[in-house]
Amino acid sequence: MNYENILAASENGIATITINRPTKLNALNKATIEELHSAFDAFDKDHSIRVILLTGSGDKAFVAGADISEFANFSVSEGAELAAKGQATLFDFVENLKTPVIAAVNGFALGGGLELAMSCHFRIASDNAKMGLPEVSLGVIPGYGGTQRLPQLVGKGKAMELIMTAGMLTAEEAKTAGLVNHVVPQSELLELANNIAQKIMKNSPVAIGKAIEAINANFKDGVDGYAVEIKNFGDAFRTEDFKEGTGAFLEKRKPSFTGK
């Protein structure tokens, strides 16, 4: 896959997508959002890919924000369309992928960058990372799901403070708040991401996909997450992975899952 704004590669079942606009601190523009959608979609449909890692190029930024020059002169309707299309094309799309997505935050994750990291299934960070939603300092609010996902991850009060002050969290502060799971030196970030991916790959991909769907259901208005869990639990019984997993347990051997 050849792209202008991202790098996409895979090895041994792990795909890595790198946002590659170093001169713009990997800022998101429309073209980058479209390319990210394309790469995520392709990897999710490739059954040999079991985990997707997302990071930024260089040592300064994961994604330093949205490309403000693209929308500085937008009208009300154009602004609303920008948010709606971006959420559907990338942020909601990533959140609902069946393939696990780990954000390896390797520097600044601000505005749309933090919103992208939050749309991933979980996050790890380098010790130089800084995270925040500074949109109100520009006279606008987060538009790619930030007002919804940040409170889900850190709580309403902390999210209110961060958004209202346009403040930034250090990596350790983000870990304490529950925004990231692990913090390591930058040189160890992708190694940790790959180690976690290896642990995920030992388990049933079809079960993981059903678990992601059930967990996400809890945060959707009008959806009974418990009902989704019950349905997905039952659906698992018809899969080959269920038969393999339970059979391996009873036979005291390691399972060999196929994702079917």
Catalytic residue annotation: 115, 135
Burial class (CB in 10 A: 0-12, 13-18, 19+), 181: middle
- Burial (CB count within 10 angstroms: exposed 0-12, middle 13-18, buried 19+), residue 46: middle
Q: How far apart are CA 204 and CA 50, in angstroms?
A: 9
73 phi/psi in degrees, rounded to 5:
-110, 20
Distance of CA 185 to the CA centre of its chain: 20
Q: Residue 110: beta bridge partners?
A: 132
Produce one character per residue of 120-135: b if its CB has 16 or more CB atoms within 10 Å, e if not.
bbbbbbbebbbbbbbb
User: Do residues 105 and 53 touch, judged by C-beta distance below 8 A?
Assistant: no
Alpha carbon of residue 108 to chain centroid: 15
CA 255 to chain centre: 28
What single string gives the DSSP state of each residue in 175-204?
A: HHHTS-SEEE-GGGHHHHHHHHHHHHHTS-
Phi, psi of 246 (to 5 degrees): -70, -35
